[in-house]
Amino acid sequence: MRMNFSYFLTVIALALSAISVQAVTTTLNTTPQGIVSFPLIHGTTTYLSLPLEGAPAYTGAVSATTANSITVADSPAPWTTGALVTPAQPYFVKFLTGPQTGRIILVTANTTNTLTLDTTDHTTQTTPLLSSPSVAFDVQIGNTFEVFPGETLGTLFGTGTVQDPLAYLVGGASVTAADVVATFTTATAPALSYFFDTTKGFWRLYPSTANANNTILYPHAALAITRRAGNGDTTFPVMGGVTDVALLIKTLSFTTSYGSTQYPVDIALSNLQMSNWTKGTSVTNSDTLFVWNATTTPGHFDSYYQLLSDSTWRKYPDKITDVSSFVITAGTAICINKRGTVSGATSYVQPTLPYTTN
């Protein structure tokens, strides 16, 4: 969530202390709101993730389900038909219990008590809520979930109006003059590049001339922000809530997926402990974790894999040194390359929740 700078300094100390959890097990008495800040250095591209979520607008239980929809127990629920699919404000469902706990899905349509969901998880592969293909992975009656608001280019960075000025980034008359935001999904690969066109007064997908203000930025997605050399260094703060359930990461067979660790905390590789993770003897027969490294100029992704023999981690091409203590900083962009065929439940990896909540 974007934040008004006027109260940024007031809340930053409290917010950062709320989410500055190190790579150890920590107990959170409530689900905190917090801030993760990213330095944007002029003349460079920074890969980052959106590790925080909007505050829940509704929490309920499933009373019925189809392959791509759920019905809520409340009838009517506290929204009107179509209220959760307005172009400028996307909403998402996150399952809190059941086999699909931690799955976050875009709401694509709604009645007063039914939510239709994008079961592709914004990828090229559908994983239905029912029979996907294992019944054991089906969403069940009584499973609980929450609905929360998501982000668009306009809600996160501003729309350039007096009421909603452009925040943190600088627009321009062309893509070469403006700061650029690149988004990554497997459904739209390669990356899509957007800039705020100061002549037209809205965000554009280069080279399209259409208004892209309402482009959805998915929760926990990876972004690449290019800060133009003449615009000076700045800091980009992201505000939101910390998840209280372990989140699922959708992957595809033999495909690299961009994203994040899902959590706004520092996590050592030894604590990552992802489900459905293929370990091996080399980088060529293991699932590969790519982690953005901003310490070099230019920055780049480093490659890590986990040994089958003892579950320790290696950084390619070094086959000897144990790097399990390496810490992925909160908000770092990562990529996951699956080395095998996956579908249904096996399409998801799930990093262990690095803290507990009461």
pLDDT of residue 134: 67
Residue 63 has pLDDT above 90, yes or no: yes
List the domain boundaries for the chain.
Answer: 30-53+151-241, 58-149, 249-357
| pLDDT attached to residue 285 | 95
SS3 assignment, position 158: coil
Q: How confident is the model at residue 20 (pLDDT cuts 50, 70, 90)?
A: very low
The residue written with tokens 């506290």 in the block is 78
Percent of the chain, pLDDT > 90? 78
Lateral strand order in the sheet of 192-197: 44-49, 222-227, 180-183, 192-197, 202-205
The whole-number pLDDT of residue 185 equals 82
Do the strands 355-357 and 26-28 form a parallel or antiparallel pair, or are they unpaired?
A: parallel
Average pLDDT over every residue of 9-31: 36
Residue 75's pLDDT is: 74
Residue whose pair of structure tokens reads 């040994």 in the numeric block:
307
Residue 155 or 26, more confident: 155
Q: How many other C-beta atoms lie within 10 A of the C-beta of residue 173?
A: 12
pTM above 0.85, yes or no: yes
For 269-323, write each residue's pLDDT tens digit. 999 989 999 999 999 999 999 999 999 888 899 999 999 999 999 999 999 999 9
Q: For residue 279, what pLDDT is reported?
A: 96
CATH number of 58-149: 2.40.10
Name which of 46-50, 67-71, 73-77 the model is least confident about.
73-77
Mean pLDDT of 168-190: 91
Question: What integer pLDDT is reported at residue 14 of this predicted model?
Answer: 30
Give dist(CA 81, CA 111) in Å, integer.
4
Average of per-residue pLDDT values in the chain: 89
- Confidence category of residue 4, pLDDT binned at 50, 70, 90: very low
User: Is the pLDDT reported for residue 176 higher than 70?
Assistant: yes
What was the pLDDT predicted at 71?
Answer: 96
3-class SS of residue 35: strand
Give the helix ranges, DSSP H, for the chain.
Answer: 8-19, 153-157
Please state, as a whole number, how many other Cβ atoms lie within 10 Å of the Cβ of residue 245.
Answer: 18
Tell which phi-psi region holds residue 297, choosing left (phi > 0), alpha (psi between -120 and 50) or beta.
beta
Decide if pLDDT at 132 tops 90. Answer: no
The yes-or-no verdict on residue 16 having pLDDT over 50 is no
Q: What is the rounded end-to-end Cα distance, in angstroms, of the chain?
A: 24
Place of tokens 């999904």: 185
The encoded tokens of residue 191 equal: 């990356």
Confidence category of residue 23, pLDDT binned at 50, 70, 90: very low
Q: What confidence score (pLDDT) does residue 358 get?
A: 62
**Cα separation, 108 vs 118, whole angstroms:** 6
